[in-house]
Amino acid sequence: MASAERFTSPNFRAAKNTVATGPVVRFNWSHPAMRHCIFPGTFDPVTHGHLDVLARATKLFDDVTVAIALDTTKAPLFSGAERVEMIRPNVARYTNVRIVTFSGLLVNFALEQKAVAIIRGLRAFSDFELEFNMALMNRHLEEDVETVFVMPNEQFSYTSSSLVKQIAKLGGDIAHFVPANVVAALKKKFAA
């Protein structure tokens, strides 16, 4: 049976109304549960790589919260409010995205927001060990919040906020790595 036929066959329609023995799981097939994820980061500043991961998350989840971390071991160049304002025009086309700042443990924030997952971008294999360790710790702290790894487009695999800031500080061209409003914000910040 072809895969397209499987979902329209009488057997499939009958199977979805069948209750198996063991734990009972009931699905409301006409109204699937809303799925909400958190896309956390410092976003100092937001890059095309971040925006690519976000675009992919909007296809996977009904609602996406871009969560800008205020408690960080990094020394941010931009304030939380400045980072929100840099991201806002670049996500305006998505009706299912909101931007917030947060402090404290990410898993606690995810629970408060009733999110089922945390989205993390993996640029290269070098990111994996750190991200894997964070995902395991988050699972230890709160097993009901999953971590989903998303790979950005290959052209953004080497882009990071730190590198972008370094290039901008030295007067290099960063237009290929960040949106135009971020280019302007970085120029203004380093001109001061």
The active-site residue out of 50, 56, 83, 120 is 50
Task: Classify residue 131: in a domain, yes or no.
Answer: yes
CATH code, domain with 136: 3.40.50.620
Task: Classify residue 18: in a domain, yes or no.
Answer: no
Is 176 an annotated catalytic residue?
no
Instruction: Render each residue's pLDDT in the chain as its tens digit; 192 residues.
Output: 444 433 333 433 333 343 444 454 444 434 445 699 999 999 999 999 999 999 999 999 999 999 999 987 888 999 999 999 999 999 999 999 999 999 999 999 999 999 999 999 887 666 777 788 888 888 888 888 899 999 888 888 778 899 999 999 999 999 999 999 999 999 999 986
Task: Classify residue 148: in a domain, yes or no.
Answer: yes
Measured between alpha carbons, how far is 56 from 64 in angstroms, rounded to an integer? 10
The predicted pLDDT at position 126 comes to 66
Is 123 an annotated catalytic residue?
yes
Task: Classify residue 60: in a domain, yes or no.
Answer: yes
Strand order across the beta sheet in which 63-69 lies: 97-102, 63-69, 36-41, 117-121, 146-150
The predicted pLDDT at position 124 comes to 67
The tally of domains found in the chain comes to 1
Structure tokens at 93: 């086309």
The active-site residue out of 48, 83, 161, 165 is 161
- φ, ψ of residue 161 to 5 degrees: the values are -60, -40
Task: Classify residue 15: in a domain, yes or no.
Answer: no
Task: Classify residue 21: in a domain, yes or no.
Answer: no
Tell me how far apart the 2 most distant CA atoms of the chain are, in Å: 69
Measured between alpha carbons, how far is 34 from 115 in angstroms, rounded to an integer? 10
Is 93 an annotated catalytic residue?
no
Task: Classify residue 24: in a domain, yes or no.
Answer: no
The active-site residue out of 6, 74, 98, 187 is 74
The predicted pLDDT at position 132 comes to 83
Is 161 an annotated catalytic residue?
yes
77 is in which domain, residue-wise? 33-191
